[in-house]
Amino acid sequence: MTDTTELVSETRSFGGWYRRYRHHSQVLGCDMVFGIYLPPQAETQTVPLLWWLSGLTCTDENFMQKAGAHRVAAELGMAIICPDTSPRGTDLPGEHDSYDFGSGAGFYVDATQAPWDQHYQMYSYVTDELPDLVHNVFPLNSQEAIAGHSMGGHGALICALHHPERYQSVSAFAPVCHPINCAWGEKAFGAYLGDDRAAWKAWDASELIRSNGTTHSMLVDQGGADNFLEAGQLHPEALEAACAEAGADLTLRYQPGYDHSYFFIASFIEDHLRFHSDHLCR
């Protein structure tokens, strides 16, 4: 490892290693922890990489421990990296007051408003700083894909739409598809980005696809019994309409009876890993 990357823990899993590392982020101005699963193939060769962005209240640990992804990732020879969902230890005023804003709720945007702009630069962290670090440290090749859940599904979509040259594919579970038109997004964007709602469109997947289209293949699963779908937080219909207008390649699957939990993710994660492997191996 490098002098600036500290091993926090390591666990053997399906012939590979699940490891957690701490490093100091210059972009976020705090120490951060990320998790990585390295498949057995990484001991003798470089491997492709799937970025996983988690949802509200999650850390780097939730997906690695609950999604059941290691077995298939080991078979496919795919590394998985899970960043955290917000800066940690900054203790800004109001940062810890609610589950859907501040701590655990960075929304993968670059904040422009004080005091959040001091630390809440999660988009730059996951698309610039952390990729530079991991590609210098781990046996990864140049093939990358990105996926996520809920707030992290929103993050995966906007990262892929802003960086079409980097990610071979993108997928999401119950993503926040139209954040400028839901309570979660309005709360977070208003504080992080200010009152100019036109500026929010740069961080909204449905608006980005409607304006610019995309060449990505996208796979989205949505639970039919998801309480946040019923509450109007997710708006997959907006993503579907934008993709239809733009002629984008979207596979949107409604899964009857499934909710917003990791049981839902674990039930379909194999489909997503194989979807990404097909694109990464082309």
The residues carrying an active-site annotation are 150, 226, 260
How many C-alpha atoms does 212 have within 13 Å on its Cβ side? 16
Pairing of strands 140-149, 47-53: parallel
Q: How far apart are CA 259 and CA 231, in angstroms?
A: 13
End-to-end Cα, the chain, rounded Å: 31
Q: How far apart are CA 108 and CA 106, in angstroms?
A: 5
How many C-alpha atoms does 11 have within 13 Å on its Cβ side? 11
Q: How far apart are CA 172 and CA 170, in angstroms?
A: 7
Strand order across the beta sheet in which 217-223 lies: 5-13, 16-25, 30-38, 79-82, 47-53, 140-149, 167-173, 217-223, 249-255
Enter the DSSP assignment of 40.
Answer: G
Sign of CA dihedral 191, 196, 199, 201: positive
Paired strand residues for 217 = 249
Cis previous bond, 164, omega within 30: no
Q: How far apart are CA 112 and CA 119, in angstroms?
A: 10
| Nearest residue to 226 (alpha-carbon basis) of 218, 236, 240 | 236
Q: How far apart are CA 63 and CA 168, in angstroms?
A: 21
